[in-house]
Amino acid sequence: MNKAELFVSYALRVGVLLSATVILVGLIRFFLTGESGYVGHSYPTQIMDIIEGALAFKPFGVIMLGLLLLILTPVFRVGVSIWVFILEKDWLYTGISTIVFLILCSSFFFGK
């Protein structure tokens, strides 16, 4: 259990630092160019649009990718929790964590 907790703590730190770095790169690009990379006051809101914008190195696309990574960090933590509960054979918490994980994942695909 201790190894799993250390892994989760390390993964959360890496996720937050990675997302902060990506957001900072997007902000620097935005301040250097003075443009968002999108027409008017629009910005990407769909996952594929965010990824395409980040791959095109559009400042707002990169910033939104950083925010997406920040949102996915705790989702990853719930996924790891499922794995830990399976290893412990704690089926109640495995079920609860799986339901929470499915709700979080479905919000990405069905949310606005």
How much is the pLDDT for 112?
61
Distance from C-alpha of 96 to C-alpha of 9, rounded to nearest angstrom? 21
Beta-carbon contacts of 55 under 8 Å, excluding residues fewer than 6 positions away, are 61
The string of DSSP letters for 31-88 reads HHH---SSSTT----SHHHHHHHHHTT-HHHHHHHHHHHHHHHHHHHHHHHHHHHHHH
Q: Are 64 and 54 in contact (CB under 8 A)?
A: yes
pLDDT tens-digit map of 12-59: 899 999 999 999 999 999 999 888 888 888 888 888 888 999 999 999
Compute the distance between CA of residue 16 and CA of residue 31 in angstroms, rounded to an integer.
22
* Amino acid 35: pLDDT: 87
Q: Is the pTM of this model over 0.85?
A: no
**What integer pLDDT is reported at residue 19 of this predicted model?**
96
